[in-house]
């Protein structure tokens, strides 16, 4: 999916769907992909892989949009559904000011023939610079204010920068956030086979709220009741997921394991083993469920 910068919005487009993120009030509105022709001079900033949601640190702070910048394919559930681990996120301030360096992968369609230049500063440093730039306006307005007012602005800036650093660290360094656009990672097999579980519902409506970590960040889209919003509401869960291809060797074959290892492994029955461990957003210090699946 592509991230566009227009005069009034940041627009994320994927096929026939687009998400418009206001640079003035931070509102999120889902539209069709063709609606991008109505945007004011949209410029492609690069590629992203998903929307985690939006947040603001203080009640009167600017909204910030968190996007999935890089991901790693863990494997496939039932050989159909791709499961990804989030390895890097970026934060885009929803303000009229320039977003700063996001270090996104270039889009081949809109950046044909353009080579990506090397980045010396880390993504974290770039995010800090963006925050500093955002607050430069506040500091200039407070230029003629009292010394206490200046200290208040500096303390506020320091606090917001610290919180943003911790959020980036949580997603970029823990390797513990996972998602899938096509299957429910938040629900155990028992829950998915329960009488109240409706597979016809959109993915987010089926999610177990205990493990839907980014629901609050997507609350505006959830409350919109707009069918176009369903595409952008993808539950992110924290925990650990491993999907491994295994082969079955019985006890009688073990005696010849070292002499005919290659032949035995070629003919041995194969199966997929999946372990999903979920951490509750209400009890972040403990692992609440472990799900084992065999195919």
pLDDT for 45 equals 94
Region of 283 (left: φ > 0; alpha: ψ -120 to 50; beta: rest) is beta
The full set of domain ranges for the chain reads 2-183, 238-294
3-state helix vs strand vs coil in the chain, percent to 5? 30, 30, 35
First to last CA, the chain: 31
Cα torsion 285, 287, 211, 127: sign: positive
Positions in the chain short of pLDDT 50: 116-124, 127, 130-131, 134-135, 137-138, 141
∠ CA 138-143-148 to the nearest 5 degrees? Answer: 90
pLDDT for 263 equals 60
Helix H or strand E segment including 279: strand 270-279
- Which residues partner with 18 through β-bridges? 13, 31
Instruction: Give the tokens for residue 290.
Output: 């472990």
pLDDT for 127 equals 45
pLDDT for 284 equals 63
- Looking from the CA of 198 toward its CB, the CA atoms found within 13 Å total 6
Question: Of 279, 285, 286, whose CA–CA distance to 210 is shortest?
Answer: 279
Helix H or strand E segment including 165: helix 147-173
């Amino acid at each position: 999916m592509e991230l566009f910068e227009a005069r009034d919005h940041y627009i994320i487009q994927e096929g026939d769907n687009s998400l418009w993120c206001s640079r003035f009030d931070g509102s999120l509105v889902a539209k069709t992909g063709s609606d991008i022709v109505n945007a004011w001079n949209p410029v492609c900033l690069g590629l992203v892989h998903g929307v985690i949601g939006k947040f603001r640190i203080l009640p009167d702070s600017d909204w910030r949009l968190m996007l999935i910048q890089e991901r790693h394919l863990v494997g496939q559930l039932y050989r159909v559904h791709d499961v990804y681990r989030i390895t890097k996120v970026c934060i885009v301030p929803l303000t009229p000011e320039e977003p700063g360096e996001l270090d996104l992968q270039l889009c081949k369609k809109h950046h044909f023939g353009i080579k990506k230049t090397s980045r010396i500063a880390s993504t974290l440093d770039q995010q800090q610079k963006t925050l500093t730039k955002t607050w430069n306006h506040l500091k200039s307005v407070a230029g003629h204010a009292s010394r206490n007012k200046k200290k208040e602005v500096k303390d506020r800036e320091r606090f917001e920068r610290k919180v943003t650093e911790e959020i980036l660290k949580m997603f970029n360094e823990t390797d513990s956030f996972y998602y899938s656009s096509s299957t429910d990672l938040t629900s155990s097999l028992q829950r998915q086979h329960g009488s109240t579980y409706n597979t016809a519902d959109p993915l987010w409506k089926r999610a177990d709220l205990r493990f839907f970590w980014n629901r609050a960040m997507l609350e505006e889209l959830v409350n919109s009741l707009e069918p176009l919003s369903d595409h952008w509401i993808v539950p992110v869960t924290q925990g650990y997921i491993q999907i491994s291809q295994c082969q079955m060797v019985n006890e009688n074959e073990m005696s010849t394991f070292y002499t005919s290892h290659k032949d035995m492994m070629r003919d041995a029955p194969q199966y997929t083993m999946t372990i999903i461990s979920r951490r509750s957003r209400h009890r972040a210090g403990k692992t609440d469920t472990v799900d084992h699946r065999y195919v």
